[in-house]
Chain A
Amino acid sequence: MRILVVDDSRAMRLIVTRTLRQAGFSGHEIIEAEDGKAAFDIVAAKKVDLILSDWNMPHMTGIEFLRALRASRKSTPFCFVTSEGSEEMREQASAAGAIGLIAKPFTPEAFSDVLSTVVTT
């Protein structure tokens, strides 16, 4: 699988990648983008099997990215990994077509719980 990790913090992109491995999801190709706009351009250019995206980012937010993705008829599984985990945001994420929202700080178990249906181990 090719997994796109989107976050404006390089540290967080690395932590997400490490946590994927700790959750047992290893052996996948990980590619990175630092905001929604760069991520959207990547998805337009190449096949991506899963997107793990922050919510608050410069240039294009995660929710704007997801809505743009769905408006362009791309159904790539999309999960938020964000510092805000309120019920309101979870509802917004779900309504826009996300498969889940993992709140920071997170554990490998949180990744397993949300991603096990879409990522092979």
Chain B
Amino acid sequence: MSAIDEFEAAREDLEALLIEVLGTVAGEEAMPVWDEVLPTGPVVMSRLAIHDEDDGSFTMVEIRTSSAVARVLASRMLFTPDPGPEDLLDAIGELGNIAGGNVKSLLRHSCRLSLPTAEVHEELEVTPQVPGVTVRAAVLGQVVELSVHIPDDVSGLCWPGAAPEPRTVTQP
């Protein structure tokens, strides 16, 4: 079975994983959605990779949501009414970390998980057609995406035990 077939076969498990993680972090029920997309405007994204050191392959795990949802999640995770830009990145990075760890447990047991990186994009960039699976759930009235795919670029990632790259914070 190819990696893409494997991701596709795990689609329902990935949807369940996203709903469980979001429900726990947001403190309210998340629902699967199939025909809704991210709203226009600033998007907060976290990414991390799973590295199979035996065959050298990478699997990328990305979480994307609007800055409005990221702000509410950060507020709830950090118990602050007015989270700052660094708080948004920390919260979405941790959301990506939880999702990535669970994806690894689901699909890539004996591999190495990178640390999450998080960044704000002014607009959702048109993602190149990369082989993989994207599942979506709605929480707080908006969409959150989980994408699992084969990356064409793994630069900029940090790995456990190493010194992290300095984080660039931009105001969404």
| Pick from B74, B97, B110: contact of A56, CB under 8 Å | B97
On whether the beta carbons of A58 and B25 are closer than 8 Å, the reply is no
Instruction: Report which of B21, B25, B78, B164 forms a contact with A14, defined as CB distance below 8 A.
Output: B78
Encode contact with B along A63-104: 1 for CB under 8 Å, 0 otherwise: 010000000000000000011111010000000000000011
Give the nearest-CB partner of A87 in chain B. Answer: B109
Q: How far is the CB of A15 from chain B (nearest CB, A)?
A: 6
For the complex, is A26 an interface residue (Cβ under 8 Å from B)? no
Question: Which B residue's beta carbon lies closest to that of A12?
Answer: B94
Task: Mark out the residues of chain B between 70 and 94 whose CB falls within 8 Å of any chain A CB in the assembled complex.
Answer: 74, 77-79, 87, 90-91, 93-94
A11 touches B74 (CB 8 A): yes
Contact of B77 among A15, A56, A57, A58 (CB under 8 A): A15
Q: Is A60 an interface residue (CB 8 A)?
A: yes
Known: A11-B74, A58-B161. A84 touches B93 (CB 8 A): no
CB pair A60 B161 closer than 8 Å:
yes
Q: A47 contacts the other chain (Cβ, under 8 Å)?
A: no
**Known contacts A9-B94, A11-B90, A11-B91; A59/B163 CB under 8 A:** yes
Stretch at the interface among B4-12, B100-108, B131-139: B100-108
Count of CB-CB pairs between chains A and B under 8 Å: 81
Cα distance, A65 to B25, chains bound together (Å): 27
Q: Within 8 Å of chain A (Cβ to Cβ): is B98? A: yes
Number of interface residues of A (CB under 8 A): 27
Known: A56-B115, A58-B158, A58-B163. A11 touches B105 (CB 8 A): no
Structural contact, B94 and A58, CB atoms closer than 8 A: no
Q: Which B residues touch A60, using CB under 8 A?
A: 161
Chain B residue numbers with a CB within 8 Å of A58 are 115, 158, 160-164
Q: How far is the CA of A107 from the CA of B109 in the complex (A)?
A: 23
Closest to B114 in A: A56
Give bound CA distance, A18 to B100, whole Å: 23
Closest A residue to B95 using CB positions: A11
Contact of A83 among B78, B79, B102, B110 (CB under 8 A): B102
Cα distance, A11 to B80, chains bound together (Å): 10
Indicate whether A112 reaches chain B with its CB closer than 8 angstroms: no
Shortest 10 CB-CB contacts between residues of A and residues of B: A83-B101, A105-B24, A11-B77, A9-B94, A84-B101, A56-B160, A58-B164, A61-B160, A104-B98, A83-B98
**With contacts A103-B105, A104-B97 known, what are 11 further pairs, Cβ within 8 A?**
A9-B90, A9-B94, A12-B77, A56-B115, A58-B161, A59-B162, A83-B97, A85-B101, A85-B105, A86-B105, A103-B102
A residues bordering B, Cβ < 8 Å?
8-12, 14-15, 18, 55-61, 64, 82-86, 88, 103-107
